[in-house]
Amino acid sequence: MKSTLLVALLVATTALADAQRPRIAVHPLVLEGVDSKKDREELTALLPGIVLSVGKVDIASPSDVDAELKKKGQAFCTAESLYKCLSYIADHTSSAHAMRIELRRGGRAGEWELLANVVRVDGVVERQTDLFKFTQPEGVKLVPVARAKLEEFVGSLKLATLPIAPPVQAAVEPVPPPVAVVPKPEPAPGNVEIPGIGQPPLPPPDESIAPMRMTSFVVAGLAVLSLGASGGLALSVSGDASSLQPRLDANKAIPPGDLSTAKAIDAKSSAAVACLVVGAIAATTAVTLFVLGSGPQKTTLAPAPFPGGAGLVLSSGF
């Protein structure tokens, strides 16, 4: 507790004395292989003061650093996310840099290794050291030896030469996208108007079938039916007449027993003629309507007087 208060007081005094030093957020000392809890606490408390005095820099409050690390959790500053973690600490403690030092056992008995990483607030790596090895003499406590080596190691980092603030990049104004300019067509020499230039496109042709042409199809169908019926009746009359012919007497008179057959022949003949006339009229009308229906038309329905009364007249104009 006393060491923490001493470091905080030293931080405030140094900041007032020299505001032109680079400000560094110091990550708590990472210890591997230090079994003694007392040694761990003493070494962790020593690091901020060593960085402040030996490094000739300003440091962020250790309590602020601890608070930011607690927000993110212990897994935030792993080897995979180390640079991101240090950049975050620097940014959230108003520091230009952040530093992490690791003390761990070496491969031989009594051997220790130091390793440091310094990252700028914008994520740029500024210091990444090789292994700094030292040996703890047999029978000598770790803390005094490690303190001396930490002071030597921090001095070799030359932290005072770090920039006070990261370089400010000039703001780049966004370039507006290019605007396509469509030139107006120039008139041809002599004010001759060229069709299709500078004029709206013509509407597509109306491919729908005019009502009059549709009517011509219906009338044509009626003509086909009428003419077909006329032909059928004619064939029937011809067959009946051929069967009646042998039964006529010498005066070509119809026997009384065949009068009904003769009447049927007369009725069929009249019907065949009527169908023929209707079919011919319908065919002529269909052709006329088909030809006239190919152009623009206007159909109106108006009342008109007729002999003995009144009616409606359907008329089409072209």
Can you give the pTM of this predicted structure? 0.49
98/197: higher pLDDT: 98
**Residues belonging to the chain:** 318
Total domains, the chain: 2
For the chain, percent of residues with pLDDT exceeding 70? 67
For the chain, percent of residues with pLDDT exceeding 90? 34
Residue 304 domain flag: yes
Residue 137 domain flag: yes
- DSSP letters along 144-163, please? HHHHHHHHHHHHHH-GGGS-
Location of structure tokens 């303190």? 147
Residue 179 domain flag: no
- The pLDDT value recorded for residue 16 is 47
Q: Within this chain, do residues 131 and 20 fall inside the same structural domain, yes or no?
A: yes
Identify the domain boundary among 142, 161, 180. 161
| Range of lowest pLDDT (82-86, 134-138, 266-270, 306-310) | 306-310
**Mean pLDDT for the stretch of residues 218-238:** 77
* CATH classification at residue 85: 3.40.50.10610
- The pLDDT value recorded for residue 231 is 78
Task: Categorize the per-residue pLDDT at 114 as very low, low, confident or very high, splitting at 50, 70 and 90.
Answer: very high
Contact (Cβ atoms closer than 8 angstroms) between residue 97 and residue 25: yes
- Outline where DSSP puts E strands in 81-226: 97-105, 111-120, 125-128, 132-135
Task: Categorize the per-residue pLDDT at 306 as very low, low, confident or very high, splitting at 50, 70 and 90.
Answer: low
Question: Does the pLDDT of residue 252 top 80, yes or no?
Answer: no
Residue 83 domain flag: yes
Residue 305 domain flag: yes
Question: Does the pLDDT of residue 305 top 70, yes or no?
Answer: no
Identify the domain boundary among 161, 179, 198. 161
Residue 169 domain flag: no
Q: Within this chain, do residues 217 and 94 fall inside the same structural domain, yes or no?
A: no
- The pLDDT value recorded for residue 310 is 55
Task: Categorize the per-residue pLDDT at 140 as very low, low, confident or very high, splitting at 50, 70 and 90.
Answer: very high
- Outline where DSSP puts E strands in the chain: 23-26, 30-32, 58-59, 97-105, 111-120, 125-128, 132-135, 298-306, 309-317
257/167: higher pLDDT: 167
Residue 172 domain flag: no
Q: By C-alpha distance, which of 93, 104, 112 is closest to 27?
A: 93
How, if at all, do strands 111-120 and 58-59 pair? unpaired
Identify the domain boundary among 161, 184, 201. 161
Residue 110 domain flag: yes
Owning domain of residue 291? 211-317
Q: Within this chain, do residues 136 and 239 fall inside the same structural domain, yes or no?
A: no
